[in-house]
Amino acid sequence: MQTDIINGRDFSNEFIITASRSSGAGGQNVNKVNTKVELRFHVSDSQLLTDHEKVIIHHKLVTKISIDGYLIIVSQTERSQLKNKKIAIEKFYVMIEKALTPRIKRKPTRPTKASKEKRLETKRIIGGKKTSRRISED
């Protein structure tokens, strides 16, 4: 679940997990069981993140962070609160991992000589078909 960038840090002590009633299909189960899980994580108050990591997370996950500074992750796909909690925690680690992974810059490349010749040969073949059609129509 956690990789090199997170370095096996356990953020579970910094989570605020609340459960509420799920929306959508599910019949009576939806009406009486709190299966929806909301995981809240205050990025600025985290003891496990460096200041640089906090800035990166605020910048990259700006749409997921509330005005209060909480990163909010919701899971309500399963009918079990425990499964939804597990999914929310996994989503959190994936989000943090993705945000903290540096982007690799693309190196611009040019088409090879062989690929240019192949493209031009294909164009000649198609052009030849079209001219042969034109001649046969007249």
Average pLDDT of the residues of the chain: 84
Percent of the chain predicted with pLDDT > 90: 26
Amino acid occupying residue 127: G
pTM for the predicted model, two decimal places: 0.68
pLDDT of residue 29: 66
Query: Considering only the top CATH level, what class is 12-100?
Result: alpha beta
| pLDDT tens per residue across span 10-55 | 787 888 888 887 776 666 766 677 888 999 999 888 888 888 988 9
**3-state class percentages of the chain: helix first, strand second, coil last, to nearest 5:** 45, 15, 40
Strands 36-42 and 70-75: antiparallel
* Two tokens, residue 81: 């609160």
**What are the structural domain ranges in the chain?**
12-100
Classify the phi-psi angles of 116: left when phi > 0, otherwise alpha if psi is within -120 to 50, otherwise beta: alpha
pLDDT of residue 2: 44
51 vs 20: CA distance, rounded Å: 33
